[in-house]
Amino acid sequence: MAAPASAVPGSAAGLRGGVRLPVPAGVRRRGAELYPTSRSPLLGRRYSGAVRVGGSGGRVAVRAAGASGEVMIPEGENDGMPASAGSDDLQVPSLDDELSTEVGAEVEIETTRGIVASDVEGVKRVAEESPAEQKPRVVPPTGDGQKIFQMDPMLNGYKYHLEYRYSLYRRVRSDIDQYEGGLETFSRGYEKFGFNRSAEGITYREWAPGAHSAALVGDFNNWNPNADCMSKNEFGVWEIFLPNNADGSSPIPHGSHVKVRMETPSGIKDSIPAWIKYSVQAPGEIPYNGIYYDPPEEEKYVFKHPQPKRPKSLRIYETHVGMSSPEPKINTYANFRDEVLPRIKKLGYNAVQIMAIQEHAYYGSFGYHVTNFFSPSSRFGTPEDLKSLIDKAHELGLVVLMDIVHSHASNNTLDGLNGFDGTDTHYFHSGSRGHHWMWDSRLFNYGNWEVIRFLLSNARWWLEEYKFDGFRFDGVTSMMYTHHGLQVAFTGNYNEYFGFATDVDAVVYLMLVNDLIHGLYPEAISIGEDVSGMPTFAIPVQDGGVGFDYRLHMAVPDKWIELLKTSDESWKMGDIVHTLTNRRWSEKCVTYAESHDQALVGDKTIAFWLMDKDMYDFMALDRPSTPSIDRGIALHKMIRLITMGLGGEGYLNFMGNEFGHPEWIDFPRGPQVLPDGKFIPGNNNSYDKCRRRFDLGDADYLRYHGMQEFDRAMQSLEEKYGFMTSDHQYISRKHEGDKMIVFEKGDLVFVFNFHWSNSYFDYRIGCLKPGKYKVVLDSDAGLFGGFGRIHHTAEHFTADCSHDNRPYSFSVYSPSRTCVVYAPAE
């Protein structure tokens, strides 16, 4: 989740005072080694949060080892954070210390995941049978993490930090293997926690160490808190088993409202179960209710179509189901499936990214203040409706990515995880470290064993149950640094990435979740929203990286907004090219000119920056245009094509922006008074600006249509030539006087003329390959709302004279404010 972008010319990147500035992610500067080798950065590393790995009677207690929520604390220091209620900080034991049994004795180790058995040769996991084990999948073992130093020798100056990070990751992996049976088993926490049905009945488990008592309540027992009291083990896991009814029916009917009532340090509270699979808000009510969701077999959706293979060139259409209707209403999964998915396919995108899937009580949060992590938002329909949507996308050959939020959680104590067991530190850090002051949300403690289980299982759940093809992880910069990227300018100095401000626990969690995704689902895609430019971010975990497939190239939209606030005459061609290409070698990026961030109220889309109020009156073809409209349509096309051409290995567009959707996004809201007393007027809870006017792009009598057709042609060109992922790229011209940019990408030659008035005849451009070239895309074509100044039948033959350091060259006509792509005719 990003704050609206506002760029400062010449500034470095980061979030300063809540304003995102552009990030030169590829800048590299050598700094002094952060940690003297004679001093350990952290002693007494431990997991915060107790896990039941032990029991009473003849069983032996073993406590899991790992990492705490504390980050980079030098010897002898701590931050004075109070311990979580009911959860001890567990020192890393050795099995020799804990298993004080005679050789040859059989030992059982109880965990919250199940039962582990041991024989004389060692501790061995015995996993309970589940459908997932019918097709065994194994996360590959850890590597040595050394390849990053070969890829970037500058990282050797920070080897102490990086090797410490990797050793912690390996230790957590080892502990999961030893005590939980490996990541494959550990990440199926939803088969143990929450509600699980067996032939005999329903078992409900909840980790709530701070609660003094707990009872399962709901429609099934008339909300009687004394009817179904739960028992708690010594590690804070509450449990109850409800046997089937006498007739064999489920003790909790499908669709029943359920909650867990707890007596906590902060009083008695009813909470929606943390692992709930579905929750709804009844009409006229404020709180949500958890739903026991277990439809009969005949009502369960059965997937019919295989998941597509991962595309080499990723072209993402970013969407929000609720606002995807042209009508002022909340749209549904079913309507999105039937109306929007075919549109995305027709436009030529090969991936759809869906926001706001995880349940969020506040619609205006854009889905980023999650309350129920395992529940698809009920505003749009049922879980079966969502599955049908995804299956339809797969039928169309579209990869489906989920915008997943693991960076923070809603501070809603009524419906979400905040204060779930009555303590401040249950899933989150305590005190100020557990609160994001800008987003007004809670921050996870990634060093807590049960938090790791919860989040890993959450990622697995969406991939397994709903067949998502990958994720776009939101707010990763906030996760990776204790300052969350706020009021910090990232300059590219490596000290900014590998220092005391780095939340190593969070980085290790990201390594684990990428391990899980790529190990169990090799075709799945992971994209991280990082504004800092963290080195190694998009390098495989086995090589020492964080493990993402792509980083969002967030400096690019900030640069365009910066330029659009100035005059055309001040645009520097070298500056544009530098921003687009300034990314780390071998780390792939998804680039974009604008996303949902720029469309939100308080900001402006590129089209609105360019054309502003003229869009209201001069977009009809039967009316005369204006200089603002002509300039806006021309630059809108140029900005998008050069961003796709040079900005990365993937491309993203937010729905509607392809045709220059007018105005902004404003969720329905009432008036609000902030804590400081400031009054914020509402919009009468209107949905008028919380929709997408696709009809504007489809109307062939409006200028929006030409912009939409250009975007469609742009996607088609990439599909045919695959230029985004081509190994060959050469920028031959960045001419400040002519305002010209010329570059090669694969076999294609791109020619951009950003001059506001000058057109050039017989303009010579260099190229690599000799022969005849033809026009394959022309932004000035009449179909795209241009003036038709380029003859598409013209043939361009190369000359054996070098130009701009290229061995061959040919001449073109380059009209002002146009972009033309040439390809070999044969």
Residue partners of 569: CB distance under 8 A and separation at least 6 = 756
Distance CA 552, CA 425 (A): 31
Distance CA 431, CA 188 (A): 31
- 3-class DSSP assignment, residue 217: strand
Residue partners of 482: CB distance under 8 A and separation at least 6 = 71, 433, 501, 502, 503
- Nearest Cα residue to 139 out of 449, 433, 542, 653: 542
First to last CA, the chain: 45
* Amino acid at position 750, single letter: F
Q: Angle at the Cα of 371 (from 274 to 687), degrees rounded to 5?
A: 150
Distance CA 198, CA 194 (A): 13
Buried b (16+ CB within 10 A) or exposed e, 258-292: bbbbbebeeeebbbbbbbbbbbbbeeeeeebbbbb
* Amino acid at position 223, single letter: W
Catalytic residue among 294, 318, 421, 474: 474
Q: Kindly write down the DSSP assignment for every residue of 57-114, as one continuous string.
A: TT----------S--SPPTT----PPPPTT-PEEEPPPHHHH----TT--EEEEETTE
Structure tokens at 190: 């939803």
- Dihedral, CA of residue 575, residue 579, residue 585 and residue 589, to nearest 10: -160
- 3-class DSSP assignment, residue 229: strand
Q: Is 622 a catalytic residue?
A: no
Inter-axis angle of helices 703-721 and 627-646, to 10 degrees?
20
- 3-class DSSP assignment, residue 366: coil
Distance CA 404, CA 479 (A): 13
- Nearest Cα residue to 26 out of 649, 534, 472, 495: 534
Helix (H) or strand (E) segment spanning residue 389: helix 383-395
Distance CA 190, CA 204 (A): 11
* Amino acid at position 825, single letter: A
Q: Is 594 a catalytic residue?
A: no
- Nearest Cα residue to 441 out of 487, 470, 474: 474
Catalytic residue among 180, 270, 529, 630: 529
Distance CA 460, CA 188 (A): 7
Residue partners of 157: CB distance under 8 A and separation at least 6 = 30, 31, 32, 33, 494
The neighbour count for residue 750, using CB atoms within 10 Å, is 22
Distance CA 798, CA 808 (A): 6
- Nearest Cα residue to 276 out of 383, 404, 400: 383
Q: Angle at the Cα of 685 (from 683 to 687), degrees rounded to 5?
A: 95
Q: Kindly write down the DSSP assignment for every residue of 517-577, as one continuous string.
A: HHHH-TT-EEEE--SS--TTTTS-GGGTS---SEEE-THHHHHHHHHHTS-GGG--HHHHH
Residue partners of 656: CB distance under 8 A and separation at least 6 = 599, 692, 693, 694, 697
Q: Kindly write down the DSSP assignment for every residue of 696-723, as one continuous string.
A: HHH-TTBHHHHHHHHHHHHHHHHHHH-G
CA dist list (Å): 127 to 16, 136, 185: 49, 12, 7
- How does strand 650-654 pair with strand 589-591? parallel
Residue partners of 744: CB distance under 8 A and separation at least 6 = 728, 729, 730, 732, 750, 767, 768, 806
Helix (H) or strand (E) segment spanning residue 291: strand 289-291
Residues known to be catalytic: 474, 529
